[in-house]
Structure 1
Amino acid sequence: MAVKYLCPSCRTPLELRADRLACAACGTDQATLIDGMIEFNGCTDKESFFEKQAIERLDAFYADYDAGKFQEVLARRSLWQMDWANKRVGITTKFWWEPHIGRITGKRVMEIGCGVNYIVPSFLLNDNSVFAFDICKGSVDFLRKILSRIGAPTAKLEMAVADATKLEMGETFDIIDINNVLHHIDDKPAVFERAHRHLKDDGKLIIVEPNYYYPPRWMIETDSLDPANFVKDYFVKNDLIEKGEKAIVFPRMRKQLLDAGFKIDKTFKDPNYLGYFTVYWIKENSGLLRAIFELDKHLFSRILPAAVAPFQYIIASKA
């Protein structure tokens, strides 16, 4: 076990005894070592959302992946050319942080809510040491499967099943990445408090999340139209969103970051106002999708405010 875990109650280093991770000070077992991976107690996806809506579909999307296919897909950075597997989990722009903090390589990286997308594999391919975790075991197991399928180097990878509101670490990281995760977590201040402790003094916290006030999303997620919100009912019934899911209200979240001891170095909007709404129904790499992308880039992104953008991006550091 390379990663140093602390007790979530007293922050004493946890000790591995046989297959149990325990706190000697509290006299409690906190996690179990199963198939080479730490699984913390109480980590369950209570809605079984990932298992219901994603594994079978993503398995089909990734069926033909190998190292070459992954590299080909990795090069598709913009929404109009985005591969379906990443588009399906809310990726609109790959490597969005690079114009602001450069390429992430040779760093110690924490991935909160690792999910299944291009991020962890690309971090590994760029010679980073990565600690990736998710509260959903199905998500972590499937990511392990994809990493094996594409031949990604895993010598510098450790994964765990853990709760971002409770996990305590005995080490710090150069980069902490949170990608489309916080809108599934109620206690965001607890996540930010821990992220602040786990970030190096000169490190960067990078976040992308969906915006609650993006009009199509608001219509799907708002409670103000209940019980006659048939669009929301359809999305929940077909496991396209979680029951009760709400995207991020960004002024509130920025205040939570400041309260946790961060300063916001950069925040900006996703420009795909029309594209994100239409991308699921139009073939990738098509002329129509490229035209919509250019329309967003040169018109809608210039006249529409961040308050109604589909996503917003944040780069933060310790204050």
Structure 2
Amino acid sequence: MAMGATGVPDDDAKRRFQRLQAAHFAEADRAKFLWQTTNAYLAGTERALLGLAGIRPADRLLEIGCGEGGNLELLATTPDRTVGVDFSEGKVRWAARHVGRARFVCADARRLPFRNGAFDIVLCRDVLHHVTDKGAVIEEMIRVCGAAGRLAVIEPNGRSPIMWLLGALVPAERDLMRNSLPRLKPLLERRSLANGGVHWAQPCPLGRVLFHYRWGLPRLAGRLGPLMLGFERRLGRCIPSGYWAYIVLTAVKRAT
């Protein structure tokens, strides 16, 4: 996001940023949903990433920024205990028609239409780099989380070469290039939260580029996916975790 003279985003910069996000994510992306949930390479890596959030089968789960519902499809959630929220009416309508894993609601993450303590866990994936008021989103996550409930935030790491490339190629993703653990971790360092955890995932997911549904050759994933995963695991022994592709932050809400 562009900054004002003081180094803080001014109102015009915020409005431009919000318009960019609204335009880019206005409509459902069916191809992306299918890539995430069925691609021979990606679906398995996505399940492993989501597994770090610590979601349990009996949890009352809220996902903020659910998009087309791909994460909930991979988690195999049930609609009686799961709600997906997104600002995009187009995405919410598509998810409600095609994904039977949750009840889908169009809402602002800064003003969620749920009572206090309604959920056991709140998941927020790939959202914070798309909003200007990250603190307000975290506060709402805390509010709707029950006592001893959990928060899970998954964000791309701007220090990862693969994620940096994504940010450079897609204007609406550009703010992820500023993501790092020192920038993200303080968001969950609040008196109302305890037991924060940090996990790193996907050392160098080259398959996200090679098998990308728009820029790559996704049909090759069936034959080359296992080889790519093995290569990435070996790379992971050489790459410091601070440069891995994803940062997963978890916290527990203190009982009051």
**TM-score (normalizing by structure 1):** 0.61
| Change over 3 Å in CA distance of 1:304–1:132 after alignment to 2 | same
Which residue of 150, 159, 181 maps to 1:250? 181
1:161 aligns to 2:106 (yes or no): yes
Q: What secondary structure, in the 3-state scheme, does the structure 2 residue paired with 1:131 have?
A: strand
- Residue 251 of structure 2: aligned partner: 316
Structure in which a larger fraction of residues adopt helix: 2
- Residue 59 of structure 1: aligned partner: 30
Q: What secondary structure, in the 3-state scheme, does the structure 2 residue paired with 1:107 have?
A: coil
Which residue of 180, 186, 210 maps to 1:278? 210
Give the CA deviation at 1:287. Answer: 3.7
Q: 1:278-308, CA deviations, whole angstroms, 9 ceiling, x for partnerless residues?
A: 33224354343321211211x2212212221
- Residue 269 of structure 1: aligned partner: 200
- Residue 290 of structure 1: aligned partner: 226
| Change over 3 Å in CA distance of 1:260–1:279 after alignment to 2 | farther
For residues 50 and 42 of structure 2, what CA distance do their matches in structure 1 show?
A: 17
Q: CA RMSD in A?
A: 3.2
Which residue of 87, 93, 96 maps to 2:46? 93
- Residue 46 of structure 1: aligned partner: 19
For residues 219 and 127 of structure 1, what CA distance do their matches in structure 2 show?
A: 36
- Hey, which bits of structure 1, 4+ residues long, moved more than 6 A? none
For residues 138 and 32 of structure 2, what CA distance do their matches in structure 1 show?
A: 33
Is the CA contact 1:272–1:296 (under 8 Å) kept in the aligned structure 2? yes
Which residue of 129, 133, 138 maps to 1:192? 138
Which residue of 74, 86, 91 maps to 1:134? 86
Is the CA contact 2:67–2:91 (under 8 Å) kept in the aligned structure 1? yes
- Residue 143 of structure 1: aligned partner: 95
Give the CA deviation at 1:171. Answer: 3.1
Give the CA deviation at 1:263. Answer: 3.0
For residues 64 and 111 of structure 2, what CA distance do their matches in structure 1 show?
A: 12
Q: 1:167-222, CA deviations, whole angstroms, 9 ceiling, x for partnerless residues?
A: 3632321010112111111211111112112111221212221111112433564x
| Change over 3 Å in CA distance of 1:208–1:244 after alignment to 2 | closer
Q: 1:212-248, CA deviations, whole angstroms, 9 ceiling, x for partnerless residues?
A: 1112433564xxxxxxxxxx4xx3xxxx441753342
For residues 68 and 226 of structure 2, what CA distance do their matches in structure 1 show?
A: 25
Corresponding letter in the other structure for 1:112 = I
For residues 290 and 243 of structure 1, what CA distance do their matches in structure 2 show?
A: 28
For residues 260 and 113 of structure 1, what CA distance do their matches in structure 2 show?
A: 25
- Residue 120 of structure 1: aligned partner: 72
**TM-score (normalizing by structure 2):** 0.74
Is the CA contact 1:182–1:188 (under 8 Å) kept in the aligned structure 2? yes
Give the CA deviation at 1:145. Answer: 2.2
| Change over 3 Å in CA distance of 1:97–1:160 after alignment to 2 | closer
Corresponding letter in the other structure for 1:141 = R
Give the CA deviation at 1:80. Answer: 5.5
Give the CA deviation at 1:264. Answer: 4.6
Rg comparison, structure with higher value: 1
Q: 1:18-48, CA deviations, whole angstroms, 9 ceiling, x for partnerless residues?
A: xxxxxxxxxxxxxxxxxxxxxxxxxxx7231
The count of aligned residue pairs is 228
For residues 243 and 276 of structure 1, what CA distance do their matches in structure 2 show?
A: 15
Q: What secondary structure, in the 3-state scheme, does the structure 2 residue paired with 1:93 have?
A: helix
Corresponding letter in the other structure for 1:278 = L
Name structure 2 gaps, 5 residues minimum. Answer: 1-17
Is the CA contact 1:206–1:316 (under 8 Å) kept in the aligned structure 2? yes
Is the CA contact 1:123–1:130 (under 8 Å) kept in the aligned structure 2? no
